[in-house]
Amino acid sequence: MSLKEWLSNWKNYFLTNFICPSNFQKFGILGVFSQKIPLFLKVPKVLQIPPYFKIPLIFPSQIHSDYVIEVNFSQLLKTLKCDALVTKNSFLFLGIKTADCLPILVSTKSKELIGVVHAGWRGSVKGILYTTLKIFLKEGFKPEEILVAIGPHIKSCCYEVKEDLIEELKLRFDNYKNFVFLKEGKIFLSLERLNLFQACELGIPLQNIWTSPDCTFCLNHLYWSHRFHKKYKKYQISFIGKL
């Protein structure tokens, strides 16, 4: 099955558009970011996509932590309280739900190890991406072999934050000023820069990192935005897998 066919299958399944980052496409990696999941649609735990069938799609129970769990088929029925999953298994899809937070997909060029990350401000400050990428390095992969894709999220144009958040950021990052912007007396945070910094700290080359240009708040007709839609919110899904 070609990547294009694969993508159109998912599109029909979820009735929404999917974006496959260019750095993943280049290596034939099956990883996507969705636009708005329709309000009426319940995301299934098992996907039936011809010619493959019954592929489990695992979502963690997201808790804004820096916990990463390596999953295999034995954990399918368990509740996984964490914000990142990694696996070496084929026919096991890893997903994440977001609406403003950063959905991040990680893969080696060889697809041997893949992962998903949910990085809101709490997870980003705790270093969830850093912790996940460390697992890839511990497994013996070189930084040049690792690809990172950051999906649509609330960007610094719209992500106004309070001073107490900056205080927390200061405790962990000496260079916090690189992630913060001031505009008309208000403070804006770039979660994208904060996460890019974590990847670059571990030596991942910038050319291995793809970032979506889309801001979920600005493009609230295409994406669910926690801040914009408030109680009517649903989410985007992002997932990655090997066949």
Binding residues for Zn ion (CB under 5 A): 155, 157-158, 215, 217-218
The CB-of-158 to Zn ion minimum distance in angstroms stands at: 3
CB of 25 closer than 8 Å to CB of 3: yes
**Cβ-closest position to Zn ion:** 215
What stretches of the chain show up as alpha helix (H) in DSSP?
Answer: 3-14, 22-26, 121-126, 128-138, 163-172, 191-201, 226-229
Nearer to Zn ion, 18 or 159 (CB): 159
CA proximity to 219, closest of 66, 78, 100: 100
At its nearest, how many Å lie between Zn ion and the CB of residue 219?
8
Select 55 or 161, whichever has its Cβ closest to Zn ion: 161
Nearest approach, Cβ of residue 217 and Zn ion (Å): 5
Q: Which residues pair with 182 in a beta bridge?
A: 187
- Walk across the sheet containing 209-211 and list its strands: 68-70, 84-87, 114-119, 102-108, 146-150, 209-211
CB of 119 to Zn ion, least distance (A): 17
How far apart are CB 228 and Zn ion at their closest, in Å?
A: 9
Tokens 């013996």 sit on residue: 140
> Which residue's CB is nearer to Zn ion, number 135 or number 158?
158
Q: How many other CB atoms are there within 10 angstroms of residue 242's CB atom? A: 18
Residue number, 109 or 227, with CB nearest to Zn ion: 227
Q: How far is the C-alpha of 81 from the C-alpha of 90, rounded, in Å?
A: 22
Q: Which is nearer to Zn ion, 15 or 157 (CB)?
A: 157
